[in-house]
Amino acid sequence: MEFSNKIIIAIDGYSSTGKSTLAKKIAKKLGYIYVDTGAMYRAVSLYALQNDFISKDKFDKNSLVSNLHNIELHFQYNPELGYSEMFLNGKNVESEIRSLEISNLVSTIATVTEIRQKLVEQQQKMGINKGIVMDGRDIGTVVFPNAKLKIFMTASSEKRAQRRYKEMIDNGENVTYESVLENVNTRDYIDTNRNDSPLIKAKDAIEIDNSELSVVETFEKVYQQVLRKIVL
Ligand code: DC
């Protein structure tokens, strides 16, 4: 569907609330670009892991920061999948960045101001022509504080862990439900308590708790809000 007045749609919220599923569906319906900013933080985490700057028990933040200029990130549209995949220094890392190992490191990486500045600048450039749906933690508060529509997604941590666990098992990962729940809770804590751009609901964001909503019901609810903003 094409509307002439293109807007920016910011979708923020807790991990595993279905932000990216929702954002992809909205972008597809509107013919907008979809940007998964979590993938960018995950790709930086993969770079840090591969270069031995971070592991389970250490983080050499200074070395990572002084190597930031060696990290090139871009999205490439995959017509078969219908969305863009994350490339790190020319390599498709879309599947590698979804592992539990990366999920356990990414919130620490996302606390670093120099990394956030680099990624936020890149994200703002992607939104210059509007017609974009971007999901993350700071999109409505920091990246696009003037976004026309802001959605803030929540759901109980147990529901979120159940969904993420199923997704990982379906992808062939060897994980336990308890380890996924622990990851969800730890990330919530770090994401909401960090000093730089913590996860908070923007004043003008519409909050949606989808603990008891299906993917289709969540989409319908948000799409009503989209239409109000585009048609008005
Ligand atoms: O959406 P996700 O679970 O793939 O995000 C991974 C991590 O990246 C998340 O724990 C917090 C961080 N993140 C962030 O700090 N800011 C964003 N805009 C997106 C993600």
Query: Given pLDDT bands bounded at 50, 70 and 90, which one contains residue 231?
Result: confident
Query: Given pLDDT bands bounded at 50, 70 and 90, which one contains residue 157?
Result: very high
Cβ–Cβ under 8 Å, residues 85 and 92: yes
Give CA–CA dist 197/119, Å, rounded.
Answer: 12
Domain ranges, residue 214: 8-225
Q: Which of 11, 12, 14, 15 best tests ligand 1's pocket when mutated (most atoms within 8 Å of CB)?
A: 15
Give CA–CA dist 53/41, Å, rounded.
Answer: 15
- 176 belongs to a structural domain: yes
- 2 belongs to a structural domain: no
- 3 belongs to a structural domain: no
Ligand 1 atom 13, closest CA = 38
CA dist list (Å): 24 to 68, 84, 90, 229: 29, 10, 23, 18
- 158 belongs to a structural domain: yes
Tens digits of per-residue pLDDT, 177-190?
Answer: 999 999 999 999 99
- 195 belongs to a structural domain: yes
Ligand 1 atom 11, closest CA = 107
pLDDT at site 2? 56
- 128 belongs to a structural domain: yes
Domains contained in the chain, number: 1
Instruction: Name the strand (E) or helix (H) holding 46.
Output: helix 37-50
Whether residue 102 is predicted with pLDDT greater than 70 in this model: the reply is: yes
Residue 84 beta carbon below 6 angstroms from any ligand 1 atom:
no
Whether residue 171 is predicted with pLDDT greater than 90 in this model: the reply is: no
CA dist list (Å): 227 to 10, 118, 151, 218: 15, 33, 14, 15
Contacts 24+ apart (CB under 8 A), 163-171: 163/16, 163/18, 164/15, 164/16, 168/98, 168/100, 171/95, 171/98
Give CA–CA dist 202/218, Å, rounded.
Answer: 19
pLDDT at site 82? 87
Whether residue 101 is predicted with pLDDT greater than 90 in this model: the reply is: yes
pLDDT at site 3? 62
Both structure tokens of 210? 């989808």
Percent of the chain, pLDDT > 70?
98
Whether residue 196 is predicted with pLDDT greater than 90 in this model: the reply is: yes
Tens digits of per-residue pLDDT, 9-54?
Answer: 999 999 999 999 999 999 999 999 999 999 999 999 999 999 999 9
Residue 191 beta carbon below 6 angstroms from any ligand 1 atom:
yes
Both structure tokens of 119? 């990624």
Instruction: Report the CATH number that the domain containing residue 159 is assigned in CATH.
Output: 3.40.50.300
Model-level pTM?
Answer: 0.93
Ligand 1 atom 18, closest CA = 136
Cβ–Cβ under 8 Å, residues 48 and 105: yes
Amino acid present at 37:
T
- 1 belongs to a structural domain: no
Residue 163 beta carbon below 6 angstroms from any ligand 1 atom:
no
Q: Strands of 79-218 (E only): list them.
A: 83-88, 91-92, 132-136, 149-154, 206-209
